[in-house]
Amino acid sequence: MTTTVPTPWWLRTLVWIVAPALGYGLAALLNLLSGVEWLPGPFGLIEELPEVVTTYVTPALGVVLGLVLAALIDAESLKVQVSTAEVVLTRPGHRRAVPRADIAVVFPDRDRLVLLGRTGQELAREPTLVMSRRVRAAFTEHGVPWADEDPYLAAYRRWVPDLPDISPAANAILAERQKALKSGDEDELRDLREELGRLGIVVRDVKKKQFWRHAS
């Protein structure tokens, strides 16, 4: 038996409707404010644009930016499938399958769903739009332990360059990852997190700062 919990269809639909509408509305608001004399800077520049640009191009650009935003948000629409054999986490462009026997505990970490192994290593960390009761129930019904927070939370320490408690290789990866954290490069962050996992290091991000612990 497999329990499947997708991101609600209505939420995904709402994202694709609201984000472009907001983009269009913002463009229309900028055009409206451009006629207010006391507003400085960019608003005055908008007023100087040709009418065809402010009437058609600017709203269209707002819609396009809204669609891009919707796509970025929708990339976090996670589908959770739990069976006696494995847990499969799927979102647009990504699929991760984890054997059920390898999982020690599952917990939410802000907007992430995290699966930990028997030695405290991270098996999966996936973004999700919704952390509902159904997600928790999908795991507990199949006997997968659930925690309301990271059971290793107290073990994390803030990373600073050249820590003596971890290897030079791990320090070098964490240094590169700090750069990716500042730039917001999600793919690089994910790849470097997995590299650290192979070295026995688990990392957690808090406000552009990295906190780390050893896997047991």
Dump pLDDT digits (tens) for 79-115: 999 999 999 999 888 899 999 999 999 999 988 999 9
| Cβ density class 153-172: b for 16+ within 10 Å, e for less | eeebeebeeeeeebeeebbe
Q: Phi and psi (nearest 5°) for 13?
A: -60, -40
Q: What is the torsional sign of CA 91, 199, 110, 98?
A: positive
Dump pLDDT digits (tens) for 115-157: 999 999 999 999 888 777 889 999 999 999 999 999 999 999 9
Distance CA 145, CA 47 (A): 60
Question: Does CATH number 3.30.70 belong to domain 80-151?
Answer: no
The single residue listed with the structure tokens 């994910």 is: 190
Distance CA 69, CA 211 (A): 29
Q: What is the torsional sign of CA 165, 191, 75, 101?
A: negative
Residue 162 region, left (φ>0) first, then alpha (ψ -120 to 50), else beta?
A: left
CATH 3.30.720 spans which residues of the chain? 80-151
Dump pLDDT digits (tens) for 22-71: 888 887 776 665 554 544 445 455 555 565 555 667 778 888 888 888 78
CA nearest to 61, candidates 33, 34, 26: 26
